[in-house]
Structure 1
Amino acid sequence: MRIAPRTTLTTLAVAALTAVSLQTPAAADAEPAAGPDPIVLVHGWNSSGSTWDTMADRFTADGWPATHLDQWTYNTSQSNVTTASQLAEEIDRVLAATGATKVDVITHSMGGLSSRYYTKNLGGDAQVDAWISLGGPNHGTDTANLCGDTSCAEMRPGSTFLNTLNSGDETPGVSRYATWWSPCDSIINPDSSVALTGATNTETACLSHGELRTDATVYSQVKAFVG
């Protein structure tokens, strides 16, 4: 058997080590594919985070980690301004816990108002990638005359809160905005209250107010928007 000269072996060894060293930085620099933004789900008046169970289960089935689905609960009788401040703290908590830089915010009904206040007045537009309103009383609803909480007064058409919230740009900052509204929603009157200038506004099939959270078609559209 012919044995290669020492100099040849040395040359081969150096070449092999050089090849490894050239590959190592590339491997070290490789980063895992970024996952989806965490989603903060904000319920409406007289409700709780559990109202999102159906939608959260669907997101889980479609690959969102449980740590990235926050079914937040808050006191719905208080002013939406107070809720907005608490939402800011909750989003900071979610970002810290997940290591993400932005969240997606999906809201139902009155939940759209505090979250819009957050994006417009509390710097939230820098932390929210996609904002979604399902049946939100963005320009008020007559049914808010039937309840007496501070938050209810703010939902009435022409309230000081809504006039201020809707003044100027309705979809400020770098966030992406979308709304869904149903012609059969008896809670939001008029139906036109939901749509926002500058947002992607979608009319659904004949759905009740609550079905906006659970309808499979609406979910698919919402998932495509946040995705």
Structure 2
Amino acid sequence: MLTDWPLRRRHLTPLLAALAAGALLAGCANAPAPVAPPPAAGDAQPPIVFVHGNGDTAALWTNTLWRWESNGWPRARLHAVEFPNPGARDDDGVAQVGRSSADEQMRFLAAEIDKVLAATGAVKVVLMGNSRGGNAIRHYIANGGGAAKVSHAILGGTPHHGVW
């Protein structure tokens, strides 16, 4: 009986360590959740407009919106654009059912930005776009009056010569 005790102890030690770790983690579960800092006085954080790419939807930005919000950005200042026809035309100058031209996307984006500015009382927005959304942002800033309404533009994975 004494000879098999070290064998039992060898198996018992990891089990006791796991139980102790579980007890420590259970104690952490009762700790209060961290609280996001309150917005700056006067809601100084600019509204951010997220612009999806070719064939995507505003849902692309869901996790990103949650991340910004969990880091203290006011939810009322986070907006994701939903283009009605997000797919690019085969030929930008030829109408195609269910697809949009660069100008149509720019006009839609301009209208959405005007809505965000009116709703938030801000003077300028930050634009964050990916893929074709970055093209719409550049087109809006260069040709749609956006230079006066955009403080920053962040483009990720944006093609420089259109969408093929």
TM-score class, shorter-chain normalisation, is 0.5 to 0.7
1:116 aligns with 2:124: no
- 1:186-205 equivalences under 5 Å are none
Aligned to 1:129: 151
- 1:92-171 equivalences under 5 Å are 92-138=114-160, 140=161, 154-156=162-164
1:87 aligns with 2:95: no
- 1:1-227 equivalences under 5 Å are 32-74=41-83, 75-76=85-86, 77-138=99-160, 140=161, 154-156=162-164
Q: Deviations over 1:68-88 (max 9, x none)?
A: 111111021201211101110
Q: What is the deviation of 1:114?
A: 1.1
3-state SS of the aligned residue for 1:155?
Answer: coil
Structure 2 gap segments, 5+ residues each: 1-39, 87-98
Q: 1:34 & 1:56 partners in 2: Cα distance?
A: 17
- Greater RCO between the two (CA within 8 Å, min separation 6)? 2
Structure 1 gap segments, 5+ residues each: 1-30, 141-153, 157-227
Superposition RMSD on alpha carbons, in Å?
1.6
Aligned to 1:5: none
Q: 1:133 & 1:81 partners in 2: Cα distance?
A: 18
Q: 2:41 & 2:66 partners in 1: Cα distance?
A: 25
Q: Deviations over 1:15-38 (max 9, x none)?
A: xxxxxxxxxxxxxxxx93552110
Amino acid in the other structure paired with 2:58: G
Q: What is the deviation of 1:155?
A: 2.1
Q: 2:52 & 2:43 partners in 1: Cα distance?
A: 27
Further displaced range: 126-135 or 32-41: 32-41
Amino acid in the other structure paired with 1:90: E
Q: 1:63 & 1:126 partners in 2: Cα distance?
A: 27
Q: 1:32 & 1:47 partners in 2: Cα distance?
A: 35
